[in-house]
Structure 1
Amino acid sequence: MPNGSLDRFLFDSTESSRLSWELRYKIIQGIARGLQYLHEESRYTIVHRDLKASNILLDANMNPKISDFGISKLLGNDLTHASASRIAGTFGYMAPEYVFQGQFSYKSDVFSFGILILEIVTGRKSSSFSYSDIYANLAGYVWEHWAAGEVNEIIEPSLGAEYQMTEVLRCVQIGLLCIQEVPANRPTMSSIVLMFDDVSMSLNVPSHLAFLPVASEVDRPPKDQHSLMELTITDMDPR
């Protein structure tokens, strides 16, 4: 693709200014429609399993294209989930049921999409946080500010005041709904596309992200569990 991958722009202090809010919003919606096709419109349910910024390519008009299907899996029409004997992907984007139990489904991709939304809004990598930070990871960082009504404090700084707050709030809330701990509580991609297309549609309120560490020490999981979630891997035996 002429413009390379999304992470080239998203996480570069110079290039990020080229991503206006209008363009970021367009990219989020484009990825959502791509996943909707993979999950619900193709002959088989295709689970990507490694959705992240570096696997989103941008064409000459900055339209997003989902790429790198090297570890994707097909689910037959009668299957809703499957188990992997070996885990492959990138921690920080991977759903907890996949990380700790090796179970994946189209809801695993929904989780990854939620993390990707939060990265696009904030300009922060999911892996840019450490356990010593006040906010131990991106999800905790966004959750705390959203719950406090302070979403304006987490928006990518290069945007200045050039964004639609209603669209930002909608993106953040959809992102948090996508990363709910229980897969059944995450929306499907068709419902997510509808959430973007119909701005009058009311959204569910996300539950507290119990499996993700936040600012409070009381809410944080054991340090070794968090460290596991922050690693990037290519192949690991879940046992």
Structure 2
Amino acid sequence: MNWERHYNIICGIVRGILYLHEDSRLKIIHRDLKPSNVLLDEAMNPKISDFGLARLFDAGQSQDKTGRCVGTYGYMAPEYISHGHYSVKSDVISFGILVLEIVSGRKKSWLCNTDDVELLLSYAWTNWRERTASNLIDQTLGDSSRSEITRCIHIGLLCVQENVAYRPTIASMVQMLNSDSSSLPTPAFLIYSDIERDITLLESTARASESEQSRNRDGVTYLLVH
């Protein structure tokens, strides 16, 4: 898998989300975008799958609220975890995390050398702030496309900003990915302090006791921790 294929997968995913948000007859919020819900065909074209948690929005609707948080921790927006608010920007933050995973070759969390859980978002923000973004790049991708890869990291960080208003729309991300000449705004650094602490605890518990699933009385999964 060279960088060109990685890049085509990123672009394919964003086109799929654009279709759901703007081009389909119904406006669809997926709410559970993650690697296992992106399938690849024989030509390595990505297909978004598993719409069990998806919600339909009216044409003029911008957000909604739920009393029960569903989805996969690590890919959820902070406003969704804290207050149950979800919108098209919820899928944007999930996409940003997917981009960072594709570029880095790392999962949203992993065990670092000290046996502590390292969160990809914290790692990415720290290296971007310290101008060491190259530390985030999967070394198997080589050096020939570093500028394009770094641009994808930049776009990914724009997607995962804590402030909903600062996150780009999917349509604007298509333009960002299709043009390497347009300048990108500077990401506003985020600190999901309480949320990251909760996710770290969940991830540690999951590794100690295997994957845990919480189900409602209808048998529908509403919390899945890998």
Separation in structure 1 between the aligned mates of residue 3 and residue 202 of structure 2, nearest angstrom: 29
Separation in structure 2 between the aligned mates of residue 73 and residue 42 of structure 1, nearest angstrom: 13
Aligned with residue 68 of structure 2, among 62, 83, 86: 86
- Give, as a single letter, the amino acid of the residue that structure 1 aligns with 2:172: S
Aligned with residue 167 of structure 1, among 140, 148, 156: 148
- Alignment pair present for 1:191 and 2:164: no
Aligned with residue 61 of structure 1, among 26, 43, 54: 43
- Segment drifting more, 144-153 vs 61-70: 144-153
1:154 deviates by 1.7
CA contact (8 A) 2:117 2:200 kept: no
1:119 deviates by 0.2
1:124 deviates by 0.6
Partner residue, 1:42? 24
Partner residue, 1:95? 77
* Cα gap change, 1:98 to 1:69, in 2 (>3 Å): same
CA contact (8 A) 2:74 2:199 kept: no
Aligned with residue 200 of structure 2, among 224, 227, 235: 227
- Give, as a single letter, the amino acid of the residue that structure 2 aligns with 1:199: D
Separation in structure 1 between the aligned mates of residue 101 and residue 84 of structure 2, nearest angstrom: 25
Overall identity of the aligned pairs, in %? 47
CA contact (8 A) 2:89 2:167 kept: yes
1:93 deviates by 0.4
Partner residue, 2:218? none
CA contact (8 A) 1:135 1:141 kept: no
1:121 deviates by 0.4
* RMSD value, Cα: 2.2
- Give, as a single letter, the amino acid of the residue that structure 2 aligns with 1:65: K
**TM-score normalised by the chain length of structure 2:** 0.84
Structure 2 SS opposite 1:196: helix
- Alignment pair present for 1:210 and 2:183: no
* Cα gap change, 1:229 to 1:185, in 2 (>3 Å): farther
Partner residue, 2:104? 122
Separation in structure 1 between the aligned mates of residue 195 and residue 86 of structure 2, nearest angstrom: 24
- Give, as a single letter, the amino acid of the residue that structure 2 aligns with 1:180: Q
* Cα gap change, 1:133 to 1:81, in 2 (>3 Å): farther
1:158 deviates by 2.4
Structure 2 SS opposite 1:78: coil
Separation in structure 2 between the aligned mates of residue 133 and residue 143 of structure 1, nearest angstrom: 21
Structure 2 SS opposite 1:201: coil
- Give, as a single letter, the amino acid of the residue that structure 2 aligns with 1:152: S
1:170 deviates by 0.7
Q: Which runs of 5+ in 1 are unaligned?
A: 1-18, 212-219
1:85 deviates by 2.5
* Cα gap change, 1:55 to 1:222, in 2 (>3 Å): closer
Partner residue, 2:128? 146
Separation in structure 1 between the aligned mates of residue 196 and residue 138 of structure 2, nearest angstrom: 28
Separation in structure 1 between the aligned mates of residue 196 and residue 148 of structure 2, nearest angstrom: 35
**TM-score normalised by the chain length of structure 1:** 0.80
1:113 deviates by 0.2
* Cα gap change, 1:48 to 1:229, in 2 (>3 Å): farther
Q: Which runs of 5+ in 2 are unaligned?
A: 207-211, 214-220
Structure 1 SS opposite 2:109: coil
Separation in structure 1 between the aligned mates of residue 51 and residue 32 of structure 2, nearest angstrom: 8
Larger relative contact order, structure 1 or 2 (CA cutoff 8 Å, min sep 6)? 1
- Give, as a single letter, the amino acid of the residue that structure 1 aligns with 2:66: A
- Give, as a single letter, the amino acid of the residue that structure 2 aligns with 1:54: S
